[in-house]
Chain A
Amino acid sequence: MTNTLKSICEQCVHLLNPQLDFIPEQPERHREIILRDLKELVSAASMEQSKTVVVLAGCIFEGVLYCFIQSQLAYIMLRRGGPFTFRPEHSLRNYVEIFNRYFSNVLSIPDLLVGYRDMVHINQELKYSPDHCRRAAEEMLRLLDRLLEKLAEYGTP
């Protein structure tokens, strides 16, 4: 039996019913963008569109980490015992490094996720075997579901 993207998505309760309390309510646009993209992700998965899933999941990872790190700047500075400058113009790789450094107790995000997101560029996709886009789509759905689950728990007192 093979997993379809649709069946994987149906098991990902946090993609279907996202709790984004870890993102500050204001400004509203942040949550709106992530919710819109999640909706489109579920739709793409139900149509088995693996490349669309990879690209959209990458955008959502970036969006979620962007919002989460910004909401945790005071905590990061406390942990460092000194200043911390978040440079939002930096890449997803930078967001992942920051997250893994200060929140590895919540979850560790694998480096391959950045490679998957970079498959939006053809020269990057060529670095993987032809069946890899499909696998990346499956794994990104599960990884994103897990990230949303852990961050929802983190935001719950």
Chain B
Amino acid sequence: MAHLAQFDVGAKQQEARIKALLEDLTQAYIGVRPESRLALAVWWGAKRYGVKEQHLLYLYEGIPLNGISSERVPLYWKTGSQDSPFVLMEATDVDWFSRLLTNDPHRVAQYWSNDDYEVLYFDKTLLNPDLLDKFGIMTEPPGLMKGWYVDEDKYGKSKNVADLLCFYRSFKPYFGFVKTEEKDFEHCRGILHLEISQKWVPFSPEGIQSYSYFNDLQNGRRVFFLFEGGALYEVLRFEVKTAPDYAGRFGLLRTQSDDQYPEVYLRAVRPPAQPSA
């Protein structure tokens, strides 16, 4: 058994080294040509082909390549080596690959068959949801709502939700929100999220303290959240909750240390110019 354990450690080290070399190679292709930006880099077939030859798939966004080109480079290219192991790099554009996915799925199935692949790099702004899904790239938890902070001045001047939504919709969402409880039609609470490394993850109790809405509320100002669907809420309070079940229950993409999440309590409101029913 001791021999087997040693073998596993050696295999892991070798895999880590190969991955590092492939990531290093991929880095050389990021930002090289502004007209054709790297959108996805996938290392695939490692279990099938072993260490002699590695396989990379690169998808680009930009100039259409209308086909899959391939190139073989030595894994130790930086040292000037021309010997094996080699890396077979296949490249195409996002649109072409998406079309293949629809028209010739068998042709592209090799890239993810038997889960024998690993995403080394992605830029979610350059990929469509189908591709993110196909390569198992999860960027947000289920049910995430995106929204904007509406301060009390803006709220006070607003006439209706449609106008507010029309104003904010063209701007980048400021935060994400996953509902954890809906008490009634008026009140709910949930976990605020922000994007870290292209993934929406929950705030830590310490992290949220840097943000304007948190500080404005602490300073006695009224704080409102407007969501993409048009729901408008007033923030009542923030409360740190220890909830070991939240990560699994709500499919959170990151677990906070000590399972502590700053929950926000919300109450549905209407703009002041719109009388209550």
A contacts, CB < 8 Å to B: 1-3, 77, 80-85, 87, 90-91, 94, 96-97, 100-101, 108-112, 115, 127-129, 131-132, 135, 138-139, 142-143, 146
Given A84-B24, A127-B171: A111 touches B212 (CB 8 Å cut-off):
no
- Of B27, B31, B171, B215, the contact of A85 (CB 8 Å cutoff): B27
A-B contact pairs, 28 of them (CB 8 A): A2-B216, A2-B221, A77-B20, A81-B13, A82-B16, A82-B20, A90-B30, A91-B31, A94-B30, A100-B196, A101-B197, A109-B196, A111-B195, A111-B196, A111-B198, A112-B195, A115-B172, A127-B172, A128-B172, A129-B148, A131-B154, A132-B171, A135-B149, A139-B212, A142-B209, A142-B210, A143-B210, A146-B210
Q: How far is the CA of A87 from the CA of B24 in the complex (A)?
A: 10
Any A CB within 8 A of the CB of B207: yes
Residue in A83, A84, A109, A138 whose CB lies within 8 Å of B212: A138
Nearest B residue (CB) for A143: B210
Whether a CB of chain A sits under 8 angstroms from the CB of B265 is no
Number of cross-chain contacts by CB at 8 Å: 83
Query: 1/0 per residue B179-200: CB within 8 Å of A?
Result: 0000000000000001111100
Measured between beta carbons, the chain B residues less than 8 angstroms from A132 are: 171
How many residues of chain B are within 8 Å of chain A by beta carbon?
39
Once the chains bind, are A84 and B20 in contact (CB under 8 Å)?
yes
Q: Which residues of B contact A115 (CB under 8 A)?
A: 172
The interface residues of chain B lying within 8 Å CB-to-CB of A80 are 16, 19-20, 23
Residues of the A chain whose Cβ atoms lie less than 8 Å from the Cβ of B49: none
- Residues of chain B within 8 A (CB-CB) of A143 are 210
In the complex, A82 Cα to B209 Cα: how many Å? 37
For A77, the chain B residues whose CB sits under 8 A away are: 20
The docked-state distance in angstroms from the alpha carbon of A139 to that of B214 is 11
The CA-CA distance from A112 to B27 in the complex, in Å, is 22
Return chain A residues, CB-CB under 8 Å to B195: 110-112
Contacts A80-B23, A129-B167, A142-B210 known; 14 new A-B pairs at CB < 8 A? A1-B219, A2-B219, A80-B19, A81-B16, A82-B17, A82-B19, A82-B20, A96-B197, A100-B197, A111-B198, A135-B212, A138-B212, A138-B215, A139-B210
